[in-house]
Amino acid sequence: LLKQRQISVAIRFRGGATTTLTLPRPLLPYESRVTQPDVIRLIDQLAVLVVEATLLMAPYVSSHLGQGADVFASAEICYSLGAVLAGVAINRVFRNTHAVKAIIILMVVTVAGLYLCTFTKSTIYFYLFSIVIGITNAGTRILRVTYLFNHIPNDVIGRASSVYNVLNILLR
């Protein structure tokens, strides 16, 4: 038995006949649970997008919409309602969709909402966008945590969560 990039097994049968079997090495446990780098990059971009959008909301309301603090405060309430709605319904809505695909869908919806808000000065669209961003932000977090709990064994979930949180803070 030789363990290198492949596993080679030399077998000798009674009577002297021999054969060699070569198999690829099985993946290590952590290698079988690795998410593709492209997906991680998309999720990181969504996190940055949400943080930037949150920081730019007040200047957007005052400069672009020409409105006051009441519109900003109402948008925060709409955001909260969207987050609550996500907590109640996001797993039901995406129950037949893979978590990674669902997160990508939420990211596309967020970008579409940002695009719409860029080219309109409607307060109603801004309120709707606030609900959507609440759903997509909270929904992404819920789907991510659910995905991690379903794919990381219980004995390492604490360490995996710590590593993920450190990376999240460093990327911000």
Q: What is the 3-state secondary structure (H, E, C) of the chain?
A: CEECCEEEEEEECCCCCEEEEEEECCCCHHHHCCCCHHHHHHHHHHHHHHHHHHHHHHHHHHHHCCCCHHHHHHHHHHHHHHHHHHHHHHHHHCCCCCHHHHHHHHHHHHHHHHHHHHCCCCHHHHHHHHHHHHHHHHHHHHHHHHHHHHHCCCCCHHHHHHHHHHHHHHHC
pLDDT in the model for residue 22 = 83
pLDDT in the model for residue 25 = 79
Q: What is the mean pLDDT of residues 3-20?
A: 82
pLDDT in the model for residue 75 = 92
Higher-confidence residue of 44 and 113: namely: 113
Report residue 49's pLDDT band, with 50, 70 and 90 as the boundaries.
low
- The per-residue pLDDT of the chain, averaged, comes to 84
Instruction: Name the pTM for this structure.
Output: 0.64
Q: Cα–Cα distance between 135 and 85 in angstroms, integer?
A: 7
Q: What is the pLDDT of residues 75-101, one digit of tens each?
A: 999 999 999 999 999 999 999 999 889
